[in-house]
Amino acid sequence: MSIDGQVDLETERAHGARIYDYILGGTDNFAADREAGEGSLRIWPALRAHMQANRAFMHRVARFLAAERGITQFLDIGSGLPTSPNLHEIVRSVDPAATVVYTDIDPLVLAQAPSMLGAAGAGTVYVAGDMRDPRTFIDTPEFRRTLDLGEPVGVLLIAIVHFIEDDAEALRVVRQVLDLLPSGSFLAMSIATDEFDPVPLARVREEYNRLGETLIFRDRPTALSFFDGLELEEPGLVQVHKWHPDGTEPAGVRDSDIAMYGAVGRKP
């Protein structure tokens, strides 16, 4: 993965984070990523609308937590490549003093993301860490300088748990993050599901597996179990385009176009 101490970006092969960037309209991708993205779109033409809806859900969640719940500290786990507007841009439009920690374990993301954040300024850091062991990022000096675990934190796990195949392991990962956070913190998640259009999504899963990427779909009861013990914000667990819609959603999006559940819960 490294050449003379430098991370090899492996531009000749498709990479999940860069495919996502391409489909969202970003520019931090290469020919192999664009080819893979177009291949996935041919299999499931709704993929772009689905990914845009997931990104828009993140924006609405962040704005809601900052504006409606007064959260000033945010932790984005498995954040991938920054695509503007980023989390810090959203929350700082509400509170310019809001602080944000982005974390990821992917060496390709870690090589590209810090410079892509550009002029994010103080109070925004990118920390290497494994979501399966939150101490790998929570115990870093960068994290401790940026977030105060004595105060509520808004945690975002957006389109990330589908990389964990085992349900029990995925639930453990989420639970151990929550256990480290104080009362009044919030968990926002989007969780991949194939319940609304299973046939083409089975082919999408095969394509991602062919590229070496995990893609696990979960049903509604399993998705809801991630929020056990939390106080769900209205409207509870719904497809992401139905969570606090604000009128900016693309016209003509059908339920079958969206393969993500989303919800926000408060730790009592």
Q: What is the pLDDT of residues 38-90, one digit of tens each?
A: 988 999 999 999 999 999 999 999 999 999 999 999 999 998 877 788 999 99
Q: What is the pLDDT of residues 111-144, one digit of tens each?
A: 766 666 666 677 999 899 899 999 999 999 999 9
Q: What is the pLDDT of residues 143-159, one digit of tens each?
A: 999 999 999 999 999 99
Q: Where in the chain are the domains?
A: 2-266
Q: What is the CATH number of domain 2-266?
A: 3.40.50.150
List, as own/partner pairs, every contact residues 211-214 make where C-beta atoms lie below 8 angstroms and the sequence separation is at least 24, other chains included: 211/14, 211/16, 211/19, 211/36, 213/16, 213/163, 214/162, 214/163, 214/164, 214/165
Query: For residue 11, what are the CA distances in angstroms to 1, 31, 167, 191, 200?
Result: 12, 8, 32, 28, 28
Please answer whether residues 185 and 147 qualify as being in contact, where contact means their C-beta atoms are separated by less than 8 angstroms. Answer: no
Measured torsion, CA atoms of residues 130, 132, 138, 141, in degrees rounded to the nearest 10: -30
In whole angstroms, give the CA distance from residue 143 to residue 135: 10
Closest by Cα among 163, 79, 156, 85 to 125: 79
